[in-house]
């Protein structure tokens, strides 16, 4: 059996390298004081026309969204948190991942069962010719290797 590099060692090495460079949120810089800061508030808007002009000139401020609510929505229905945060482009990625996972699970399960049944038939009748989906006349050893391979991924 060939030697394999332990994944836990790789993960630990990445943590050792990444943690010293990781930074938490930094506090905001202190506001300047003195002449550069306006001390008086702007004049109140008294007419509706000026209030409308003020809202039109002001940049659109994003509505604050709750991370807790996004998390709860995602737990209830995958992708709902992204819809809540208006990150609609992420939803196909989530559902594509689910579809890929389902496809691989079904495919590997079918291959596992096919190799297992072929191996059992070959053990019971050594002279039998075993034809699988795209492979014909496999030896007992090849059937066992295929069975072990798909058992690992199943």
DSSP, residue by residue, 10-28: HHHHHHHHHGGG---PPPP
More confident residue, 58 or 118: 118
Longest dimension (CA), the chain: 98
What's residue 75's pLDDT?
92
pLDDT band for position 89 (cuts 50, 70, 90) = very high
Residue among 81, 123, 142, 124 at smallest CA distance from 132: 142
Checking if the pLDDT of 96 tops 90, the result is: yes
Mean predicted confidence (pLDDT) in 25-40: 61
Spatial neighbors of 143 by CB under 8 A, at least 6 apart, are 115, 118, 119, 122, 130
Supply the pLDDT for residue 16.
Answer: 58
**pLDDT higher than threshold 90 for residue 92:** yes
How many helices (H) and strands (E) in the chain?
A: 6, 0
Measured in degrees and rounded to the nearest 5, phi and psi for residue 130 equal -100, 120
Q: What is the pLDDT of residue 1?
A: 45
CB distance 147 to 116 below 8 Å: yes
Pick from 71, 66, 81, 148: nearest CA to 111: 148
Q: Does 31 have pLDDT greater than 70?
A: no
Question: DSSP of 53-103, one letter per residue?
Answer: HHHHHSPPPPPP--HHHHHHHHHHSTTHHHHHTT-GGGHHHHHHHHHHHHH
């Amino acid at each position: 059996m060939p030697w394999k590099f332990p994944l836990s060692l790789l993960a630990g090495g990445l943590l050792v390298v990444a943690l010293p460079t990781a930074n938490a949120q930094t506090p905001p810089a202190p506001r300047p004081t003195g002449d550069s800061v306006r001390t008086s508030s702007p004049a109140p808007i008294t007419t509706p026309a000026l209030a409308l002009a003020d809202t039109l000139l002001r940049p659109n401020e994003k509505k604050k969204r709750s991370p807790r609510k996004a998390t709860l929505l995602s737990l209830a229905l995958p992708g709902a948190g992204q819809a809540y945060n208006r990150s609609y482009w992420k939803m196909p990625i989530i559902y594509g991942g689910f579809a890929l996972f389902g496809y691989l699970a079904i495919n590997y399960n079918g291959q596992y069962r096919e190799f297992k049944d072929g191996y059992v038939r070959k053990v019971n009748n050594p002279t039998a010719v075993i034809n699988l989906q795209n492979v014909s006349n496999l030896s007992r050893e090849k059937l066992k290797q295929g069975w072990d391979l798909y058992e690992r991924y199943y």
